[in-house]
Structure 1
Amino acid sequence: MLVFSQAIKPSVFSLCSPLPPRAHLESNSQIVSTKKRLGITSSEFSLALQHCIETRSFHEGQKIHSRIREAGFEKNRDLLPKLIKFYSVCGRTDMARQLFDKIPKRNLDVFIWTSMISACIQDGFLDEAVMLFSEMLALGLIPDSYTLSALVKASTGLGYYGLVNQLHSVSVKCGCCSSLSVANSLVHAYGTFGNIDGAFRVFNRIEHRDIVSWSSIVRACSCLEKYAESISLFSRMQSEDHHRPNEITVVSVLPACSFFSSLRKGQAIHAYVIRKGFDLNPIVSAALVTMYSRCGDARCAFVVFNNLDKWNVVLWTSMIEGFSMNGEFTLALHLFKRMQKLGLKPNYVTLVVILSACSHGGLVDEGLEIFWTMKERFSITPRIEHYACVVDLLGRAGRLDAAEKFIEKMAIPPGASVYGSLLGACQAHRNVELGEKAAFMLFELEPNNAANYVILSNIYASVGRWDDVGKVRQLMVNKRLSKNSGCSWIEIKDKVYVFGAHDRSHSESESIYKVLEELGERLTEAGYVPSTKHVLLDVDEDDKKSLLCSHSERLAIGFGLLKSPPSAPIRIAKNLRVCGDCHEAIKLISKVVSRQLIIRDTNRFHHFSRGSCSCGDYW
């Protein structure tokens, strides 16, 4: 029940009660006399309508509308927008439009036009909203910031990038671009559509930014994987404008912590989340689970997950993925089964995640059972991602013939992800013939993806076919394709340091190489013999050994040993797959230096400790 103050009468229920019978109102004087007789003001009707809007009370609102009509307030410029909004929130845009159309459009002000446009947007009638906007402009009315920001948000949600550009132009002409609501909507829109330059142009012109402005630009950078800028903006927001992050800002910056494996920064944000009570938000919790998982700490991710009162499929999927990428494949499978026992049905993403876990964990039979029964058990028809996971599952296990036959019998045309999984398996198992077939299919499907050419070149190099290596590299030159340079990065005292292979650009390079030289002597004493087959260059054996010892992840390890506390784990991220020799060497390093080394490559985390790796050498 809505309770008015003593000065405001009557209550909602008296406003909804029927009027006594009387003659039809025919003149303004009769309307005025009726208003006096009823003793009801427009502000009282407005409060009653607001209550119906907030509670979505359609029938009560209709009764109030009848009283408004009989009292002669229907065309009131304060009540008309509210009536339109009331019908809109109750899902009756048709009734809002009927009300709107009863009044000559030239007699309507911008506020009422905006109400009707917003009503159309809210119910998903964007085309109708745009037509109304055009009519409004044709009548010579200048839109206000509310109209433009509502249209920009709607255009963003529906993917109409061209319309966003046009609305931006209109906002400049109307002088509304300086409005904070319009500017924030444009920053969000440009970020969503991947135009980071456009987002920054608008953002940099905002004179007095609020938390929405900062959150929008931080989110834009994270979505476009500009993680360094995302973290920098997050810091500037607090230091320059003294804004405290909200839930959206937190969710937007956590992927940057994940990318750089910035566990300390992620932990600091988590502490802030707890202080503010944001941890009750399932979206924030899912982001924290992902952050901890991608910083190599699946146990902390599980603590966040386990402390929640309510779970949804997204959270379960995030946690299953967290266990999987950190080598806890059995726990991932256990969680998948537990989820079903609790009555939660996995979605297609959950199935991609668990199939990937089975693939990387060598759980071939379990993965195949999930795939072949997913339609029956979960009513989910396999998509291309699921097929690619099965090819990867079979390929990693060395069952390349079975993988090839599986592709031939697929119910849908195999795409690049399927042939990409097969090509990767061929590289791991040095199957040249099948690798060529997969590569040539990929050259047709995605001719400008340099990775496919590099993998085929590596397959040739692994068996000493240097002439074919040269042909593939020349093909890349002809297509103007280049290989991604390998690099690794490590965070020390909130600063990220990046190393390339054989890099000597660091200011402490001499000390780093000295640490590695001393480490190399200890490894040799422990029985380490470099596996030069992993050097895919046609050079002599001594050069191959030298190249292996200066891979980017080893330089990062050397720097970590030089700068981090003796007992602290060393966390490193790498943009390429860890090579086989480095994998063996790092296992031994973890033993001789008695340190935990956590390295994330393009696929997953490798937790090295006491001479072994969490992947079980199955990767």
Structure 2
Amino acid sequence: MVVRYILHRPTTMRKLQLHLSLHHLQPRGSAMVHCSTITFPANKMFDNMTPEAHPPWNHILFEYSRRNLFQEVLSLFFHMRRSDVSPDSLCLSSVLKACSSLSDPIAGGQVHSYCVKSGHDSGVSVGTALVDMYMKCGSVNDAQQAFHDMPETNVVTWTTLLAGYVQNGCPEIALEFFIRMHEEDLKPNHFTFATVLAACADLGAVQAGSNIHSLVLKLGFSTTLFVGNSLLNMYSKCGLISAAQMVFDGLSNRSSISWNAMLTGLVQNGFHAEALEIFHQMRMDGVQLTQATFTTLIKACADNRELGFTRQLHSCALKTGFASDTSTLTGLVIAYAKCKQMEVAHGLFSLVPEVQTVVSWTAMVGGYLENGMTEQALHGFRKMWREDIKPNEFTFSTILTAAPLLTPSQFHAQAIKAGYESSPKVGTALLTAYVKLSCMEEAAKIFSLMDEKDTVSWSAMITGYAQIGDSEGAARLFRRMTQQGVEPNEFTFSGVLNACSSPTAAVEQGKQLHGLVIKSCLDNAICVSSALVTMYARRGDIDHAYKLFVRQTERDIVSWNSMISCYAQHGRGKKALEVFSELENEGLQLDGITFVGVLTACNHAGLVDEGCRYFKSMTSIYHVHPTMEHYACMVDLYSRAGQLESAMNLINEMPFPAGPTVWRTLLGGCRIHRNLKLGELAADKLMSLEPHDSAAYVLLSNMYAAAGRWEERAKVRCLMEERAVKKEVGYSWIEVQHQIHAFTASERFHPMKDQIYKKLDELGSQLKREGYCPDTNFVLHDLEDEQKEQILAHHSERLAIAFGLISTPLETPLQIVKNLRVCGDCHTVIKMISRITGRKITLRDWNRFHHFSDGSCSCGDYW
């Protein structure tokens, strides 16, 4: 028997006829209830009654709720209250479900108040509905209070509470309450397990997930498909693909959800070949493909720039009817864009208006940028605004990350206008863009405004300070980061270690960071181990650097390039070429940086023939096209060896005009070999390209001084004054007891100046007894020889060495850094000091390292 009630606007409160409209009784903000016909099974209690006599309110509410007519449920509830009809627990549960579905905490609070007044809040069903309502409305504290106020709970109540915590981003609290539930000896059901496994997946809590898996097996839920899918999802999100595969293999009755979960887990963890096998197995087993299947696989194709499989999936989606699905089409647009098929991507994007969402617009803009189509990307970005599609944080981060040549300020204002300036993703992209341009002041402002600073944003700032050579700024920021409890990752350590490679950084600082790297178990990360190699090499310890290089479990081209360049800087050219030979056997793709290191090694060791051979092999064997930097290396190689004519011929044969580096290099060679005519040509070219760079003026004036042409030298100095060109002041520094001590020539401000000059006098007497005769040609001033000798004796590197000798124990190695090139006379003196004192002295000048020991230098007097 079926009873049909037809409702319409009441003329009396008890009359139910054709239509019922409750607009005037609805709470503020609710919608008009449209006419509807409600059909539901009869109940014995209504067999002998008429609707006019006693309206079956609960059944009407239940039917509204069953049909998801939640606004009508609320309206009818308030109508009941005005009619003095008292809802029972079943009715109140339905009303609270409506409040949950509508996310209406105000109406929910009103219903809660009625429950308390009527005494219905003590029932399990109403209490559970209250917990669910508050959780779905985001009122976690109210939900927890409602739970604690319940005199009696059951597994459904606990599961509702756990699900609410997970939905509101509190998975760790969900795990705590699950433990309490277990302690109270309340047996979980399959929904409980699914909920708590989702919490483990969100937290990446592998151990907790494994323990819950054991409980699943113990209580016999392992065969429940719902729980099995949750286990599969948990292990996949935690990166334990082998465990996920075992769960998947153990499922006797797999659904399409199971297959898609396994597929998603493989793709998310980078097992793309295995994901392809699963897809083929799905098709062979006749598993029904879903939208999720295509979305997952197309994303994998996009991530791997796999064009062939993208086309196959596109064809399959057309055959199965999923090609018109918005998510699938959006995925295809993204995949084709990343595969550089912009015409195909634009075709799909243009033909289907539904696809033109902020996600696909972002993909198109990013695709244009990745393919070097900057104008089209900017046009697309502006068109988004015109068509009232507001860019999201991914749009801004995409255009800022993929377009480093664009000025960040072009998008900074728009990000502020869109309200994304303080977003972690956009903020990080903005500050990274400013960092690439070395605009650290702007980057720091962005960083200070960010609401949430994650590891990526901290790392970007640290890397920025490292790039501009501010080692102290990078170290200070790293300390702040760790003090605020942010865990550094491999990129953080790489950035701060690169900062410690700076000449001004403290040696002990780098060693302490090395200890932290080992403690964090990140010493095997390629970027970290390569940074450690570079850091030790630049601090003068090339042997320790090589030991770290040998211990690397995995090496990419960056690691090899780093080691080759380090040996080149230390003047160990043959060792650098040995490492290059090992690299050739590895079969890695060589790049331009590799050959910069190789040519520099040949340059510093005077290996002219070998350098020419490697330069020719770049294009003929390795298909690497020489850049300006490679030509500068070759010009330097010829110039240092005195083959200035060959250097000039190479400059004339270059496929592009010579830049400042090339002319500066040639000018340096002319100074060494005193070729004034060619030096004047190189200086003139360099001054025209960089009129405010002091190198051309200083080198040319030094050449005139060495030739005794004091008038020409004076003219160059006058020209410097006219153009406001400042010569860089030469200084040297040494680290003693974790403090940096800097010296300029004839320094008189150091607290220990008296002891330093006394030590210099002692060394001067010893040097003369050993046969030292000052080479006054390195004093480029028109002075008497005695004055020139005094100037030489007080060069900054000698002051730093004297301080090191009186401030450190006997036989302690000394490390000196100089911002300019060491002069020939100082080079001779330091060799003799190393023999007289028995000290090993490492000197790093602007160009290379010199290792002095027992009267000789590692450069072999060729630098």
Write the distance in 2 (CA, Å) between the matches of 1:423 and 1:267.
39
Aligned counterpart in structure 2 of residue 352 of structure 1, from 596, 602, 621: 596
Checking the alignment, whether the CA contact within 8 Å between 2:602 and 2:610 is kept in structure 1 is yes
In structure 2, the CA distance between the partners of 1:498 and 1:133, relative to structure 1 (3 Å rule), is: same
For the Cα contact (< 8 Å) 2:491–2:527, is it kept in 1?
A: no
Note the 1:450-529 alignment, pairs <5 A.
450-529=694-773
Q: Alpha-carbon deviations, 1:7-26, whole Å to 9, x = none?
A: 964534699769x9xxxxxx
The answer (yes or no) to whether the contact 2:494–2:527 under 8 Å persists in 1 is: yes
Instruction: Letter of the 1:152 partner, please give it.
Output: L
Q: 1:301 aligns with which of 522, 531, 545?
A: 545
- Give the one of 161, 165, 173 matched to 2:417: 173
What secondary structure does 1:259 align onto?
coil
In the TM superposition, residue 497 of structure 1 has moved relative to its aligned partner by: 2.9
- Aligned mate of 2:432, from 188, 191, 194: 188
The aligned counterpart of 1:146 is: 394
| 1:449 equivalent in structure 2 | 693
Secondary structure at the aligned position of 1:537 is classed as coil
Q: Report whether the alignment pairs 1:74 with 2:325.
A: yes
1:232 and 2:476 matched? yes
The correspondence for 2:406, drawn from 140, 144, 160, is 160
Which residue in the other structure is 1:222 paired with? Answer: 466
Distance 1:553 1:108, change over 3 A: same
Q: Deviations over 1:344-395 (max 9, x none)?
A: 5654433333233222212233334434555444445555444433433333
Q: Using a 3 Å threshold, how does the CA distance of structure 1 residues 235 and 521 change in structure 2: closer, same or farther?
A: farther
Q: Which residue of 2 aligns with 1:556?
A: 800
Matched, 1:366 2:610: yes
Q: Kindly report which structure 2 residues correspond to 1:75-474, keeping only aligned pairs within 5 A, or say none.
A: 75=326, 85=334, 100-101=349-350, 104=353, 110=358, 114=362, 127-156=375-404, 159-161=405-407, 164-239=408-483, 241-260=484-503, 262-343=506-587, 346-371=590-615, 374-380=618-624, 382-401=626-645, 403-404=647-648, 413-474=657-718
Distance between the aligned counterparts of 1:445 and 1:557, measured in 2?
A: 38
Q: Secondary structure at the match of 1:388?
A: helix
Paired residue total? 588
Structure-2 separation of matches of 1:298 and 1:142: 54
Structure 2 unmatched runs, 5+: 1-243, 261-278, 303-308
- Residue type at the aligned position of 2:487: R
| Counterparts of 1:487 and 1:459, CA distance in 2 | 22
Sort the Cα spacing of 1:244 and 1:523 in 2 relative to 1 into closer, same or farther, 3 A: farther
SS at match of 2:781: coil
> Cα deviations across residues 197-231 of structure 1 (Å, max 9, x unaligned)?
21122112224322112111122222233344233
How far apart in 1 are the matches of 2:330 and 2:623? Answer: 45
CA contact (8 A) 1:53 1:89 kept: no
User: Using the alignment, how far apart are the partners of 2:689 and 2:391 within structure 1?
Assistant: 48
Question: What is the match of residue 299 of structure 2?
Answer: 53
Shift of 1:475: 1.3
Residue in structure 1 matched with residue 144 of structure 2 by the alignment: none
CA distance in structure 1 between the aligned counterparts of 2:733 and 2:353, rounded to whole angstroms:
66
> Which whole-Å CA distance do the structure 2 matches of 1:333 and 1:108 have between them?
55
Quick one: which amino acid aligns to residue 153 of structure 1? T
Matched residue, 2:36: none
Distance 1:382 1:212, change over 3 A: closer
Give the secondary structure class of the aligned counterpart of 2:501: helix
Structure 2 counterpart of 1:597: 841
With over 3 angstroms needed to count, the CA separation of the structure-2 counterparts of 1:570 and 1:207, relative to structure 1, is: farther
Inter-CA distance 458–50: structure 2 relative to 1 (3 Å threshold): same
Q: What residue identity is the alignment partner of 2:789?
A: K
**Within 1, Cα distance between the matches of 2:681 and 2:581?**
37
Note if contact 2:298-2:332 (Cα within 8 Å) is conserved in structure 1: no
Q: Is the 8 A contact 2:533 2:549 kept in 1?
A: yes
Q: 1:583 to 1:124 in 2, by over 3 A?
A: closer
Q: Distance in 1 between matches of 2:353 and 2:649?
A: 70
* Structure-2 residue corresponding to 1:27: none
Question: Which residue of structure 2 lines up, in the alignment, with residue 584 of structure 1?
Answer: 828
Q: Secondary structure at the match of 1:595?
A: coil
- Equivalent position of 1:26 in the other structure: none
For normalisation by structure 2, the TM-score amounts to 0.61
Which segment drifts farther, 414-423 or 288-297? 414-423
Report the residue type matching 2:537 in the other structure.
S
Q: Secondary structure at the match of 2:747?
A: coil
Residues 337 and 45 of structure 1, relative CA distance in 2, 3 Å threshold? closer
- 2:406 is aligned with what amino acid? Y
Structure 1 range deviating more: 413-422 or 608-617: 413-422
2 CA distance for matches of 1:458 and 1:202? 46
**How far apart, in 2, do the equivalents of 1:405 and 1:62 lie?**
58
Conservation of the 8 A alpha-carbon contact between 2:291 and 2:325? no
Q: Which whole-Å CA distance do the structure 2 matches of 1:432 and 1:202 have between them?
A: 51
Aligned-residue offset at 1:586: 1.0
Could you say if the C-alpha distance between residues 349 and 81 of structure 1 is closer, same or farther in structure 2, counting changes exceeding 3 Å? Answer: closer
TM-score by length of 1: 0.83
User: Residue type of the partner of 1:160?
Assistant: L
Given that 1:374 and 1:380 are in contact with CA atoms closer than 8 Å, whether structure 2 keeps it comes out as yes
Matched, 1:536 2:784: no
Identity, % of aligned positions: 37
Distance, in Å, in 2 between the alignment partners of 1:119 and 1:375 is 31
Residues 45 and 68, structure 1, Cα contact 8 Å, conserved in 2: no
Q: Which amino acid aligns with 2:325?
A: E
Question: More displaced, 49-58 or 440-449?
Answer: 49-58
- 50 and 373 in structure 1: CA distance in 2 versus 1, 3 angstrom threshold: closer
8 Å contact from structure 2 (residues 533, 562) kept in 1: yes
Residues 80 and 112 in structure 1, CA contact (< 8 A), matched pair in contact too: no
CA distance in 2: counterparts of 1:55 and 1:324, whole angstroms: 42
The one-letter code of the counterpart of 1:324 is A
Give the Cα–Cα distance (whole angstroms) in 2 for the partners of residues 359 and 119 of structure 1: 42
Does the 8 Å contact 1:187/1:198 carry over to 2? yes
Report if aligned partners of 1:15, 1:64 keep a CA contact under 8 Å in 2.
no
With over 3 angstroms needed to count, the CA separation of the structure-2 counterparts of 1:525 and 1:243, relative to structure 1, is farther
Query: Considering only CA atoms, is the larger Rg found in Structure 1 or Structure 2?
Result: 2
What is the alpha-carbon root mean square deviation over aligned residues? 3.7
